């Protein structure tokens, strides 16, 4: 005769593993239900305050606006989702955010404004670019909500359509976007070319493009008043070529070859330089 075995127990007297799992699930469900009932009746777990540091860096309402209803209702959930909350803030505002515990029922949000170091014109829109590789529109309404934000002035980088796109399709749902294009190389070029300042002219910016050649072309654009008076074309991927173009233009200035007329100086032909007059204002 088979030995007697109590239902739900193993031969060694232990509880069946499935029964243990079911028992734990019932306990967790009961606990969650109890907490939800307490919250529904008394708001015990609701988020009561958001503290932004430094004070006034962004309005506290900004943080509330990116929280879900569940995160407002159960504040530990907002704390559990701290990295997601920070990412939501960084997607809408040009800041670096750190979200953490600020006391019972409270969140602390540490905010650091991103520092734009260059302006880019791309597809008819002016963009700010930060040194950590993020890009956002200069006309973004949220710019005014970030205290302590400083904006670059001076020459603009004109990003031609022949260049790698600054933004891919997957980033269109964000206002502040990480940019993988080699903007940092062009910013370095801008700093180097800024050393060349013909008398009576101002560096308006640098246009970067590809023209059926592996080498990236740079065009330094100088203006006299409102008129583009001088363009210097050089191989932007060759540091020696940039310095050569700068020194060549300086020499042409000393010889009086470059006058007040609109002139294009092409330094992309290796051992020779080509000058071409252009219609004024082009």
Per DSSP, what are the bridge partners of residue 209? 217
Per-residue pLDDT tens digits of the chain, which is 282 residues long = 455 445 555 545 555 677 777 877 777 777 666 666 655 555 667 888 999 999 999 999 999 999 999 899 888 899 999 999 999 999 999 999 999 999 998 999 999 999 998 999 998 999 999 988 899 999 999 998 999 888 888 899 999 988 888 887 656 688 999 988 888 888 888 887 877 666 677 888 999 888 766 678 888 888 877 777 788 888 888 767 777 777 777 777 777 777 656 788 888 887 778 888 776 554
Residue count (the chain): 282
Peptide bond into 27 cis (omega under 30): no
Q: How far is CA 224 from the centre of its chain?
A: 34
Evaluate whether 195 touches 189 at the Cβ level (below 8 Å).
Answer: no
Encode pLDDT of 11-34 as tens digits: 455 556 777 778 777 777 776 666
Nearest residue to 96 via CA among 81, 106, 85, 86: 86
């Amino acid at each position: 005769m088979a030995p007697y075995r109590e239902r739900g127990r193993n031969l060694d007297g232990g509880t069946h593993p499935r029964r243990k799992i079911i028992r734990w699930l019932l306990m967790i469900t009961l606990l969650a239900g109890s907490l939800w009932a307490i919250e529904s009746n008394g708001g015990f777990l609701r988020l009561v305050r958001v503290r932004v540091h430094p004070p006034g860096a962004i309005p506290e309402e900004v943080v509330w606006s990116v929280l879900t209803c569940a995160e407002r209702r159960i504040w530990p959930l907002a704390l559990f989702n701290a990295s997601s909350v920070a990412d939501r803030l960084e997607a809408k505002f040009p800041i670096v955010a750190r979200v953490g515990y600020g006391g019972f029922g409270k969140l602390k949000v540490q905010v650091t404004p991103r520092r734009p170091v260059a302006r880019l014109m791309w597809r008819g829109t002016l963009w700010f670019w930060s040194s950590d590789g993020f890009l956002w529109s200069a006309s973004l309404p949220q710019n005014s909500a970030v205290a302590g934000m400083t904006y670059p002035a001076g020459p603009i980088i004109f990003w031609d359509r022949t260049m790698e796109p600054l933004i891919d399709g997957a980033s269109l749902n964000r206002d502040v976007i990480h940019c993988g294009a080699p903007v940092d190389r062009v910013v370095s070029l801008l700093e180097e070319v800024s050393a060349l300042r013909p008398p009576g002219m101002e560096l308006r910016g640098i246009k970067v493009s590809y023209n059926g050649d592996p080498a990236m072309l740079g065009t330094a654009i100088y203006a006299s008043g409102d008129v583009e008076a001088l363009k210097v074309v050089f191989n932007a991927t060759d540091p020696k070529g940039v310095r050569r173009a700068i020194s060549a233009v300086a020499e042409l200035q000393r010889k009086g070859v470059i006058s007040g007329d609109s002139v294009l100086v092409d330094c992309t032909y290796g051992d020779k330089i080509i000058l071409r007059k252009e219609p004024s204002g082009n």
